[in-house]
Amino acid sequence: MSAISKVARRSISTRFFLQQKRGYAASATTQPNDGIQQGVAYSHLLKRGPEDALRNPELAHISAVNGETTKMNLFQAVNDAMSIALATDENSVVFGEDVSFGGVFRATTGLAEKFGKDRVFNTPLTEQGIAGFAIGMAAVGHTAIAEIQFADYIFPAFDQLVNEAAKYRYRSGNQFNVGGLTVRAPCSAVGHGGHYHSQSPEAFFAHCPGLKIVSPRSPIQAKGLLLASIRDRNPVIFFEPKNLYRAAVEEVPVADYELPLGKAEVLKKGKDVTIVGYGAQMYTLENAVQLAEKKMPGLSCELIDLRTIMPWDVDTVVESVNKTGRLVIAHEAPKSSGMGAEISSTIMERCFLRLEAPIQRVCGWDTPFPLIFEKFYMPSMIRCFDAIKTSVNY
């Protein structure tokens, strides 16, 4: 990368930091559509009270031991997870561009001061180097938590992650591994990022055996899934939807807890159509479900958050589609060869005789991510609603 492009990139990242300084931000659409209050600020998926936070069966063991919670947004939950990992594992380290200063999105704020700059430190501006260094540290027994400043920057590290990290255990006949490797990367649209700060590259890595891919929708999920990713004995790429860093706020358990990788969560039970997504797209799908059930009285939608993109929870989705006979999948990444295509293919193989309508995919278009046309690119509430309507009316 040229010196000019590096300077330009750092300048853009600095602007992101300046725009993200507030601790909390309400992400909401000001104009309701058919009475639907859109956006994260109005979501019923977020657990805003301690009782709601601990009602999740996956967290039942916490409430029995330590039921304390505290208000956190998503980047604070990520920070808390890394703090716990550093405190409970003396071999763990956190590194990346600007992380000792807190990072562009402030996700590593205070960690260097708390754990020392030999365990939380900055790297040069080289994603290939960050990934290679992380693989080396994991190979000799460290728990390496590496940050790629934006998911769009991860491509220089592609060879290291796909040809080294993913294959390390296999090519050594399980004599060696880099299971202690976790790569964090802020991903997806943010409203003003353009084509170099808005991409969702999960499908590139989901194609590669040996890597696990995770994307949380909320602070509670982010903390539990990140701790599980760090402690999982496989290399994990953890994609964090950056528009949720401050917009998504919940009461998060202060205790050390993990949420299961490879297990989807059914957020809303239904009988007529299965709706599947992950990450920030879950809030758009929530609104689309609300609109569909309002426009089509009696309609009952089942909403599923994959959480782990690879390996994705085939059984949960198959069970749901066998019940409903219909499937709608949505994600921000482009449609061609996206995760929606993989899910669609698998469901066709497993549920063909139970399907009542063609599977619908609502995705980003097959173009570079546009700046001024972002609202037309995104799989919006209306586009998702149209897919639900098409499926139900088939």
Active site residue ranges = 127, 197
Residue 358: asked if its preceding bond is cis (omega within 30°), the reply is no
Side chain identity, residue 157: A
Distance CA 187, CA 181 (A): 19
- Contact call for residues 217 and 279 (beta carbons, < 8 A): yes
Q: What does the alpha-carbon distance between residue 290 and residue 39 come to, in Å, rounded to a whole number?
A: 12
**Beta-strand pair 265-268/301-305:** antiparallel
**Cβ atoms of residues 220 and 58 within 8 Å:** no
The answer for residues whose C-beta is within 8 angstroms of residue 29's C-beta and 6 or more apart is 37, 38, 39
Find, among 292, 305, 306, 300, the residue nearest to 382 by Cα: 292
Distance CA 338, CA 364 (A): 9
What letter would DSSP give residue 201?
Answer: -
Residues 227, 59 contacting (CB under 8 angstroms) = no
Q: How many residues does the chain have?
A: 394
